[in-house]
Amino acid sequence: MTELSQISVIFEWIFNPDPRISHDCAETIHRLLTSQKAFKNKSLYHTLRHISLRKEDLHRFGAFKADVQNSLFCVASMNSNGYVREEALVHLIKSPGEETFPFILFRLADWVPAIRQTAKNGISELIQQRELQFLIRHHKIIDWLLKVERENLRDIHAEITESIFADGNIERIIRDIEAYEERDRYFIFRNLILRDKLDGQILEKILTDKNYLIRLLAVRNMDLVERPEILKRLLNDRSQKVRHYAIGKIPEPQLGKFRTELCDMLFDNSTAIRTISRAQLSKISSINYPERYREEIRKNPRPGNIIGLSEVGDKTDMNMLRAFLKSDSSKLRAAGLFAISNLDYDTAKEQAFELLNDSAIMVKWTCSHIIPKERLFDDLPKLRSIYDRGTNDTKRFVLKILSRYGGWDIAGDFLKGIKETDEKISQTASAFLNGWYNYSVRLGTAQKETDKEYVMGIYRDLNTETLSLSNDIKKIIDEIPFIFGQK
């Protein structure tokens, strides 16, 4: 048993007169409940409310260990009987812990006013007793209070969060910040910013946090007009999103102060950052961007300046870009191919067919995005030829490309892939065949005889008995003759 829904099925067995059966059942319920990492109030209530319980039944929970008792009271607190919920809540408030805390909070949204009031009184006492780390670790369920519709619980939410972030607690929270998980640190820093509690130490913790979402808080929620030194740090952040937000935060009157940073960001790996950098620089100076990119490529070729040139240059730059297709660096080969596709798609597509056999995954990935942008019938024989003589990695990428073309005949390509001895190819082909099968019922085009012959020719050579396939894939393969009118 692994599903919470099983609890309502077995719960009555905790009252079995055989102590062994009773205790095994209670332990199972405890295990099921404590194995859950998160709960949703509505789904939990609908799952557990129908358990047949009376208020007087709850005293029988005393036969079990304390932690098992708590789990049983948690289940009882979701019962449809208000007397049962209230009695269970009273017990949970007396025995607060990691597992019981969410169930106490859930009762703040109870439809019985007396139960809501009991929960409110209990929560007010609990937040005075619990450690900061306990409350912070439960921030998700605490923030759930803001979403409750039956009752306005903003005051309780404010009481809890104000208690956590009281002035006397902040130093201790920051001192122990490394002990918290990323989502907890996000909660901490977001609340410190909202409460205007930032100082130099806290800001440094935010700017050096390994989670970019936390660093992004500084860009989104701080007034950086008077703090150009902070803005410059954010412009050099390792996260593309942070850098992009930071550029947008530069006040127009101060653009000149950030000219050096903006010039460097012309060669960023992100298209969005290169674009906004050019837009910002154009407000304060006149720059020949194509020539600026050519100069940088001659000095220090990188993906950002190679692709940047293709965004502002023209076909006279093709020879410079073609040279990178023979580079020893896979990054530069991929960048050169992508840059060519910006200036001359047809040429890039032909090069992509050739480079599908490149040894680098990055180059193959670039090819797989360029080729299917314009899907032509004549592409299929080329792709099938490349598949037949390609490496295992090449075959997987060809299957990916073929899946983008659609149609009836690509089922044959996936059947061919399923026959491969390489497990990755076979799994890739199986996944695409399953996707094709679900999609094929919506195909409105008529089947050509050539499509039928191609697919059935491969099908007849397929011996599923020698292959390790899931039952779902075997069923699809068995239906192939029917789909193509051969049965």
**482 falls within a domain:** yes
Helices (H), 252-344: 259-264, 271-282, 289-299, 303-312, 318-322, 330-343
Out of 138, 164, 190, pick the residue that ends a domain. Answer: 164
Residue 215 burial (C-beta neighbours within 10 Å; 0-12, 13-18, 19+): buried
pLDDT digits (tens, 9 = 90+) for 312-337: 999 999 999 999 999 999 999 999 99
pLDDT digits (tens, 9 = 90+) for 55-108: 999 999 989 999 999 999 999 999 999 999 999 999 999 887 778 888 998 999
User: What is the SS3 assignment for 356-389?
Assistant: CCCCCHHHHHHHHHHHHHCCCCCHHHHHHHHHHH
**238 falls within a domain:** no
In which domain, by residue range, is 101 found?
A: 1-164
**425 falls within a domain:** yes
Number of domains making up the chain:
2
Round to whole Å and give the CA distance between 188 and 139.
Answer: 9
Tokens found for residue 352? 């992509």
At residue 129, does pLDDT exceed 80?
Answer: no
At residue 386, does pLDDT exceed 90?
Answer: yes
Proportion of the chain above pLDDT 70, given as a percent: 97
**333 falls within a domain:** no
pLDDT band at residue 213, thresholds of 50, 70 and 90? Answer: very high
**230 falls within a domain:** no
Q: Report the pLDDT value the prediction gives residue 38, as an integer from 0 to 100.
A: 61
Q: How many CB atoms lie within 10 A of CB 397?
A: 24
Round to whole Å and give the CA distance between 158 and 150.
Answer: 18
Out of 136, 164, 192, pick the residue that ends a domain. Answer: 164
In our burial notation (b when 16+ CB lie closer than 10 A, e otherwise), range 293-324 reads bbebbeeebbbbbbbbbbbbbeeebbebbeeb
pLDDT band at residue 369, thresholds of 50, 70 and 90? Answer: very high
Q: Calculate mean pLDDT across residues 113-137.
A: 85
Q: Residues, the chain, total?
A: 487
**43 falls within a domain:** yes
Out of 129, 164, 199, pick the residue that ends a domain. Answer: 164
At residue 212, does pLDDT exceed 80?
Answer: yes
pLDDT digits (tens, 9 = 90+) for 271-302: 999 999 999 999 999 999 999 999 999 999 99
**19 falls within a domain:** yes
pLDDT digits (tens, 9 = 90+) for 140-198: 889 988 988 878 889 989 989 999 999 999 999 999 999 999 999 999 999 999 998 88
**235 falls within a domain:** no
At residue 34, does pLDDT exceed 90?
Answer: no
pLDDT band at residue 441, thresholds of 50, 70 and 90? Answer: low
At residue 487, does pLDDT exceed 70?
Answer: no
